[in-house]
A and B are shown apart, each in its own frame.
Chain A
Amino acid sequence: MKKLVLLLALLLTLGLTSAQTLVFGSSGFPASLDAVDSQDGNSLVVSGQVTERLVDFAPGKTDLIPGLATSWSANDDATVWTFELRQGVNFHDGTPFNAEAAKFNLDRWNDPNHPYSGRAEGKTFVPWGWVFGGPVGDGNLIESVAATGDYEIQLTLTQPAPFLPALFAAVYFQFNSPTAVMAAGVNYGTPNVGSVGTGPFKFVEWIEGERIVLERNDDYWGGPAGVERLVFRGIEQPTARLAELQAGTIDIAVNLTSDDLATVQNDPNLKAAIADTELNVGYVSMHQANAPFDNVLVRRAVAYAIDRDAIVSAFYEGLGVVAQDHLPPVLFGHGEDWPYEYNPEKAKELLAEAGFPNGFTTQYWYMPVSRPYFPAPQPIAETIASYLADVGITAELMTEDWATYLADYQTGKFPMYMIGWNADYADPDNFLRTFFGPSSLTDQGWDSPETRALIQEASQIADQDRRAELYAQVVNTVADQAISIPMAHNRSLNATRVGIEGWIASPLGFSSVSLHSVTKAQ
């Protein structure tokens, strides 16, 4: 009898535990939990539950809300910023979060000679370069970090940055426990070590290629999370993720194929979770190092040859919109609408005018993986190539491994290629600087000092109307010169099981979503 009671109690506990476990289906496993050293959503969605940022986004929106910083202010020309830090917060290992801890993290990213940066041993902190121009040295933004009080830090910048807090809201900049970083050294963030932060969940274990387990941090400053345990699984194929979600072996599946919308909507056990808008853009670029794309007539001909409306209505299932420029619709800074309406006859005329009455042969490189902005890269590429063939351009379809692809598109190896961008923060600067800014000369082989100067100037002004004017100039020049063809802004299809509440899709993609307030019904 006693044994039976024990057994029942055990079963009951097991039942409760399993109901309290939320299984998250990502499209892959993390590269590292040392957030600034990883660049991909699959890493950041896990580390983001353990470690936190100074500034956060309101759920489902791009408005900034306090994170580990409770408030922030700048001097008049926005070159010195002061952040007030949240008090009474401890890292999971007991280390207090304060100005010293915050400075340790910022210096680790920003000072190339910091003893715990691990740069010499292979840590790269690539996103720090994307957003802040790299560590102290040529062209970086943050000159120095000072602890000006127990819970106050001050950042001195090399140039004005009116939207600095938005940069710190980017999902990469998560603060780690200095004690843990110093103890683990270059191994910090690896499967054996994990990460230690202030977040709603604590790292438990990472079994490579199988799962990552986190457990609830009962002392979380924002109150305990809705579920006790989180399990992250990497399932590469979107079809497999959907199948597991339907089978109930995972509770949330992110980045499903747009084509699966109807399947999700027709399944009584599933709910679609789609953001109202999403800050991304997919585009097709021509690299001017490859003739004849150095000729603007040829680039315009290509722009006229492709029926973007047909492509978006076929492959985006109503979740995406045709892009009018490289900026997502909700951002400011738009110029005139995209001037090249589908017109194959006009394309042929331009080709003839450019000296190619019979067209020419080139290569079109397509992405080997689907991203939210290009949900089906290969069929889209085949469709684009067929439009090009209609006007006489033979585009040989090519692809290669994703990591190599990401390195190669910037070298001019690809005459034509498709790529896109998911925003880090909600500002046109994040898009236009990335595509046409000072460090992106290599992307399209387009040398335009005026455009780069405009982008640089706009990033230093606080007045949004003036910024919008400058960005509109950039966008219009890009359209006029047909540097790169914006195709679509898409919304990713995510889905949860019925009974999962509180997972709100973010305009910045799934990696920015906190699982703190997600609950799972029994």
Chain B
Amino acid sequence: MDGTATASNVGETTNRKRGNDLVRRFFRHPTGVLGLAIVVLLVLVSLLAPVLKPYDARRDRDLRARLSPPSAERWFGADELGRDNFTRVLHGGRISLRAGLIAVAFAVLIGTLLGLIAGYVGGWLDTVIVWVVDILLAFPGILLAIAIVATLGPNLTNALIAIAITQVPIYTRIVRSVVMQVRQSEYVQAVRALGSGSIRVVLKHVLPNSLAPLIVQLTLSIGTAILDVAALGFLGLGAQPPAPEWGLMIRDGFSQFLRAPWMSIFPGIAIFLAVVGFNLLGDAIRDILDPRLRNI
């Protein structure tokens, strides 16, 4: 028992050291810092939106301000109902961010679980799961999402379910490949020989080893999910009016584009920033976690 305790203490120290090292290297990664800044801004704005500009989309209407151009009073102009575009873009961030996080969280949970089962149990279960994952991956993500929403009915919840489903196979694959590697490794064989149960092996060895690729994929996935939510909203398959969802706002501005381009442009910029932010962050995390890219 003593031996185990010491080993874990040593592990903690090295982990902390390694952690500090990673943070230091992250802040030397300029695009990563930019990505982080954008993401932090997005999160802050989304958290503070109800305080800054309380908003009830159901009752918002100011017909006299219909299609007003951007001004000091209305920074991003007004839409067809005279609703303030700035307030709506602000609150749209809440919808997009929450949607991205929830969809990805579900995908990670289910994907990881399936990956563990496939990789660890193996046998016919593995065959079936890999087979399903391959089929899902064969579809372009957004097409699959459209098909799922078309079946379930168009609303934001169903859009989230659809996006989560399209991302599940990505995580299943990642976790399964890590499990396959780790399961064969000598130290796991040794731990098992010492009598560790499967669950302990999974929790202590497999999951920690999956963490790096999972974090990278997760960050990148949030960007993809935000884009997919917007795409489904634009197609009329995601959030429904009057929700201030960015994709839906671009769609609403589409028929007025020559007269009131601000209706589409500002939510468009918002989507662009959110996706770029998460992608830069994800790329940076991958760079610093990947041992092959160290010191480049």
B-contacting residues of A (Cβ < 8 Å)?
237-239, 242-243, 257, 259-260, 263, 310-311, 313-314, 368, 376, 378-379, 381-383, 385-387, 389-390, 394, 396-399
Residues of A within 8 A of B80 (CB): 376, 379
Report B52 CB to chain A, min CB distance, Å: 22
- Which DSSP category, helix, strand, loop or mixed, fits chain B's interface? loop
Provided the pairs A314-B63, A314-B66, A397-B242 are in contact, do residues A386 and B257 lie with their beta carbons within 8 angstroms? no
A-contacting residues of B (Cβ < 8 Å)?
56, 58-61, 63, 66-67, 80-81, 236, 240-242, 252, 255-259
Q: Are A386 and B256 in contact (CB under 8 A)?
A: no
Provided the pairs A379-B81, A399-B236 are in contact, do residues A385 and B58 lie with their beta carbons within 8 angstroms? yes
Q: Are A263 and B259 in contact (CB under 8 A)?
A: yes
Q: Which residue from A238, A257, A387, A397 sits with its C-beta under 8 Å from B240?
A: A397
Q: Are A386 and B60 in contact (CB under 8 A)?
A: yes
Q: Are B63 and A383 in contact (CB under 8 A)?
A: yes
**Complex formed: what's the CA distance from A379 to B256 in Å?**
12
Not counting A368-B236, A398-B240, a sample of 6 additional A-B residue pairs whose C-beta atoms are within 8 angstroms of each other reads A260-B259, A313-B63, A314-B66, A376-B80, A386-B81, A389-B59
Q: Are B240 and A386 in contact (CB under 8 A)?
A: no
Residues of B within 8 A of A242 (CB): 258
Residues of A within 8 A of B56 (CB): 389
Residue in chain B with minimal CB distance to A395 = B58
Residues of B within 8 A of A378 (CB): 241, 252
| Interchain pairs with CB closer than 8 A, number | 55
Report A242 CB to chain B, min CB distance, Å: 8
**Complex formed: what's the CA distance from A382 to B243 in Å?**
10
Q: Which residue from A386, A396, A397 sits with its C-beta under 8 Å from B61?
A: A386
Q: Are A389 and B241 in contact (CB under 8 A)?
A: no
Provided the pairs A314-B66, A378-B252 are in contact, do residues A259 and B259 lie with their beta carbons within 8 angstroms? yes
Q: Are B58 and A389 in contact (CB under 8 A)?
A: yes
**Complex formed: what's the CA distance from A259 to B258 in Å?**
11
A–B complex contacts, Cβ < 8 Å, 5 sampled: A259-B67, A310-B63, A382-B61, A390-B59, A394-B58
Q: Are A239 and B258 in contact (CB under 8 A)?
A: yes
Report B19 CB to chain A, min CB distance, Å: 48
Residue from the set A257, A382, A394 with the largest chain B CB neighbour count within 10 Å: A382
Residue in chain B with minimal CB distance to A398 = B240
Residues of B within 8 A of A238 (CB): 255
Residue in chain A with minimal CB distance to B80 = A379
Q: Are A259 and B256 in contact (CB under 8 A)?
A: yes
**Complex formed: what's the CA distance from A382 to B59 in Å?**
9
Report B235 CB to chain A, min CB distance, Å: 12
Report B195 CB to chain A, min CB distance, Å: 58
**Complex formed: what's the CA distance from A389 to B241 in Å?**
14
Residues of A within 8 A of B240 (CB): 396-398
Report A365 CB to chain B, min CB distance, Å: 11
**Complex formed: what's the CA distance from A238 to B255 in Å?**
8
Residue in chain B with minimal CB distance to A399 = B236
Residue from the set A237, A238, A259 with the largest chain B CB neighbour count within 10 Å: A259
Report B256 CB to chain A, min CB distance, Å: 7
Residue in chain A with minimal CB distance to B82 = A314
Residue in chain B with minimal CB distance to A388 = B58
Residues of B within 8 A of A394 (CB): 58
Q: Are B66 and A397 in contact (CB under 8 A)?
A: no
List of 8 A-B pairs having minimum Cβ-Cβ separation, nearest first: A379-B80, A314-B63, A386-B61, A389-B58, A389-B59, A382-B242, A397-B241, A382-B241
Q: Which residue from B81, B256, B257 sits with its C-beta under 8 Å from A382?
A: B81
Residue in chain B with minimal CB distance to A310 = B63
Residue from the set A260, A314, A387, A396 with the largest chain B CB neighbour count within 10 Å: A314
**Complex formed: what's the CA distance from A389 to B56 in Å?**
10
Q: Are B255 and A237 in contact (CB under 8 A)?
A: yes
**Complex formed: what's the CA distance from A394 to B258 in Å?**
33
Residue in chain B with minimal CB distance to A366 = B241
Provided the pairs A239-B257, A259-B259, A394-B58 are in contact, do residues A386 and B236 lie with their beta carbons within 8 angstroms? no
Report B84 CB to chain A, min CB distance, Å: 14
Q: Are B81 and A383 in contact (CB under 8 A)?
A: yes
Residues of B within 8 A of A376 (CB): 80, 255
**Complex formed: what's the CA distance from A238 to B259 in Å?**
13
Q: Which residue from A239, A259, A313, A381 sits with its C-beta under 8 Å from B241?
A: A381
Report A308 CB to chain B, min CB distance, Å: 12
Residues of B within 8 A of A237 (CB): 255
Provided the pairs A379-B80, A379-B81 are in contact, do residues A239 and B255 lie with their beta carbons within 8 angstroms? yes
Report B205 CB to chain A, min CB distance, Å: 49
Provided the pairs A376-B80, A379-B81, A394-B58 are in contact, do residues A385 and B259 lie with their beta carbons within 8 angstroms? no
Residue from the set B58, B67, B252 with the largest chain A CB neighbour count within 10 Å: B58
Q: Are A257 and B81 in contact (CB under 8 A)?
A: no
Residues of A within 8 A of B236 (CB): 368, 399
**Complex formed: what's the CA distance from A257 to B258 in Å?**
12
Residues of B within 8 A of A383 (CB): 61, 63, 81
Report A263 CB to chain B, min CB distance, Å: 7
Residues of B within 8 A of A313 (CB): 63
**Complex formed: what's the CA distance from A257 to B60 in Å?**
24
Report B151 CB to chain A, min CB distance, Å: 14
Residues of B within 8 A of A239 (CB): 255, 257-258
Residues of B within 8 A of A386 (CB): 58-61, 81, 242
Residues of A within 8 A of B67 (CB): 259
Residue from the set A238, A239, A243 with the largest chain B CB neighbour count within 10 Å: A239
